[in-house]
Amino acid sequence: MSSIITGTGSYIPEDIQSNNIFMKSEFYDTGHLPLEDNNELIIEKFKNITGIEERRYVPSELNNSEIGAIAARRAIKNAGIDPESIDQIIVAHNFGNLVGDHKQSDMLPSIASKIKHLLAIANPNCVAYDIVFGCPGWIQGMIQADQFIKSGMASRCLIIGSETLSRIIDPHDRDSMIYADGAGACILEKGGNPGKGIMSYASQTFTLEESNYIFFGESNRKVAADNTYYLKMHGRKIYEFALNNVPSAMKLALDKSGIPIDKVKKILIHQANEKMDEAIIKRFYRLFKTKIPDGIMPMSIGKLGNSSVATVPTLLDLILNENLDQHHIVEGDAIILASVGAGMNINALVYQY
Ligand SMILES: CC(C)(COP(=O)(O)OP(=O)(O)OC[C@H]1O[C@@H](n2cnc3c(N)ncnc32)[C@H](O)[C@@H]1OP(=O)(O)O)[C@@H](O)C(=O)NCCC(=O)NCCS
C-alpha cells in the first residue's frame, strides 16, 4: 500500500520584488566592513551565480500561518475533501510567525494549531503539529505522513510548508537576496494501488562539521545595541556540501524504489541556486552513467527565489496545474522530490503517478 497525493495548493505572494530593490542596500562583509563593489555589480554577480531575477515577499498584513492556511485551503479544495476528515496537519517551517520589530518567532501555539484554527476544523482527532527540519521540512513531513498512513494511525494528512523569510533576513548581507516567501501544501491519503504513490525515500542529517552552515547570527553591519539575530549562511560551504551529498541521497531513494533511472520524468529539487541544482543533477546522472534527459529539472528560482519549505510543494502545484513553462506530469511518470538545507539535512522522495 502506498500513500497518494490527492490535492495540492500553493500561495505565491502577488508582490514581485525584482533585484532592483537591493540597489540602495548597504551591504557589509562578515567582518562588518562595507563591500567595495558597487551594488549594480554585486547584483549582477548574484544573478549570474544563482539565476535569481526576482522573488516574492508577503504583504505586511499576512503572516506565516495565514499564508499556510491559504495554501492548505487550496489543497483541500483541489482534493475535494471535507477538512473535518483530515487526521493529521503537519506544518514545516523554521521561524514560525515573525511578529513585531524585534522579529520574535511566535510558535505558541504551533503554526499547525494556528492553521487548524484558521481552517475552522472542529474535529479534535485531527492532530496538528510542526516540524522543523530546515528547507527539507516539507518533504520530511510527507515522509512522516506516509509512515503514519502505512501504520494505520492516519488515513488522510495535510502537509504544509510555509515560510516568511523576508522578515528574518539581514538587510546588510548580500546573501539575503536569495530568500523569498511562500507556502505550498498537499493532501496525502491511503492509496489502493501498490504501484502508485510514494514509493521510497531517504533522509540524512549531517552535524559534525555542518550544523552551523545555516545559522542564526548577527547582522553584517555592526550597530551598537542591536541584538536582533538573522538567518545567515556559509554559502560556499553549503554549495560544496550539497554537490557532494545530495546526488547520493537521491540515488539511495531511487535504488530503494526499484524504479530504473530512465523512468524518472521530473526531478523537483529545492531551489537555492540554479547553478548548484544543475551541478547536482549532473552528478546524479553521472552515478548512473546516463545522459541527463531534456527538461528533467523544472526551475522556479528565477522568478520565485528560495522560499525554503515552500519551494518543492509550490513547484509541484505549479506543474500539476500546468503553470510552469512546458512542464507536465502525467499518469505513469515517476518523479523525485529532493531538498537540502539547515541541519544540515537532505532528503529525497520517489513518487509514482
Ligand atoms: C551564496 C552563494 C550565492 C555564493 O556564491 P559562490 O560562488 O559560492 O561565492 P564565492 O564565495 O565563491 O565567491 C565568488 C564570487 O561571488 C561573489 N559573491 C559571493 N556571494 C555573493 C552574493 N550573495 N551576491 C553577489 N556576489 C556574491 C564573491 O564576491 C566572488 O566575487 P569575485 O569572483 O569577483 O571575487 C552560493 O555559495 C550559494 O548559493 N550557496 C548555496 C546557498 C544555499 O543553498 N543555501 C541554502 C539555503 S536553504
* Domains of the chain, each with CATH number or no CATH: 3-194 (3.40.47.10), 198-352 (3.40.47.10)
Q: Which pLDDT score, from 0 to 100, does residue 33 have?
A: 95
Q: Which pLDDT score, from 0 to 100, does residue 193 have?
A: 87
Grid coordinates of 215? 545559522
- Residue located nearest, by CA, to atom 44 of ligand 1: 272
Between CA 49 and CA 56 the distance in angstroms is 19
- Counting ligand 1 atoms within 8 A of each CB, the residue from 49, 232, 234 with the most, and so the one to mutate, is 49
Query: What is the CB-side half-sphere exposure of residue 227 using CA atoms within 13 A?
Result: 2
Ligand 1 contact, 341 CB (< 6 A): yes
Q: Which pLDDT score, from 0 to 100, does residue 1 have?
A: 78
Ligand 1 contact, 172 CB (< 6 A): no
Ligand 1 contact, 39 CB (< 6 A): no
Q: Which pLDDT score, from 0 to 100, does residue 99 have?
A: 87
Query: Checking DSSP bridges between strand 334-341 and strand 264-269, what pairing results, if any?
Result: parallel
Q: Which pLDDT score, from 0 to 100, does residue 100 have?
A: 73
**Helix, strand, coil in percent for the chain, rounding step 5:** 35, 25, 40
Between CA 299 and CA 249 the distance in angstroms is 20
Name the residue among 137, 219, 142 with its Cα closest to residue 175: 219
Ligand 1 contact, 95 CB (< 6 A): no
Q: How far is CA 148 from the centre of its chain?
A: 22
Strand partners, 351: 198, 335
Q: In which residue ranges of the chain is pLDDT below 50?
A: none
pTM of the model: 0.97
Torsion angle (degrees, nearest 10) of CA 143, 263, 259, 306: -30
Q: Which pLDDT score, from 0 to 100, does residue 86 have?
A: 98
Q: Which pLDDT score, from 0 to 100, does residue 41 have?
A: 97
Q: Which pLDDT score, from 0 to 100, does residue 194 have?
A: 84
- Counting ligand 1 atoms within 8 A of each CB, the residue from 36, 42, 239 with the most, and so the one to mutate, is 239
User: How many residues does this entry show for the chain?
Assistant: 353
> What are the pLDDT digits (tens) for 45-88?
999 999 999 999 999 999 999 999 999 999 999 999 999 999 99
Ligand 1 contact, 79 CB (< 6 A): no
